Each structure stands twice: as structure tokens, then as C-alpha cells.
Amino acid sequence: MIARLPGTDFGLRRRAAGAVLGCLLLTVCAAPATTTRWTKTGSDEATTAREVQACQAQANAALSTQMGINEDITATLGGNWQRSSTLGIETGSLNRSAAGAATRAFNNCMLAKGFVKGT
């Protein structure tokens, strides 16, 4: 038999993770499509594409890490948020924070490689 602490709901973690992922996907899909062009003197399109891909991998890793942290936060506080009817607000805030961390990781990576952001 598995001992559980009173008031813990391990199914909440899975539901919350699904809600977080769903909200993040909606946020990304609903965002206006803007094209950012990264340029670097002496860099051709193939090199730029490789560097963008490498930085996107770093951004994805940052997003994954932040989403794991968000899952832990939701597992700890999700019951309280649910009882106070703020679960959606809180998960939305966590999602925006995670997306921001990924964007910062990508931008910092590109800047560190000597690229300049243009439109």
C-alpha cells in the first residue's frame, strides 16, 4: 500500500501539466506572426540557418526546464489555486514566464554568436 499525505492529489499534477501545455500552445499559436531576421557580417544563409537551429535547441531546452519547474510549482500549489479559482490565471502566468525564458535564451544565444536582430 502506498502512503499518501492528506490532501494530495497526484492526478492534479498530470491535469495541470496538460493545462499548462495546452495554454502554452494556444499562446504560441495565437501570437501574431512576426518574422525576425538575424544577420551577421560574412554569414551566409546556410550558416545562419544552422546557428538559428542550434540556438532554437537551447531555447527548447530552457523551455523544457522551465516547464518542469512549473509542473513542480503546480503540483505543490495547484490545489490551493483550484480552491481559490485562480488555477487558470496562475498557469497562464507560469506559461508566459516559460515562453519568455525560452525567447531570452534564443536571443542571448544568437547575440553571443555575433548576430544582430533585424525585421
List, for residues 87-97, the tens digit of each pLDDT value.
Answer: 999 999 999 99
Rounded to two decimals, what is the model's pTM?
0.69
Per-domain residue ranges for the chain? 42-114
pLDDT surpassing 50 at residue 1:
no
Q: 1, 73 in Cβ contact below 8 A? A: no
Dist. CA 103–CA 55, nearest whole Å: 10
Strands 116-118 and 37-39 turn out to be antiparallel
Given CA atoms 36, 38, 44, 46 in this order, what sign does their dihedral have? negative
What's the pLDDT tens digit per position in 25-47?
A: 555 555 555 678 899 999 999 99
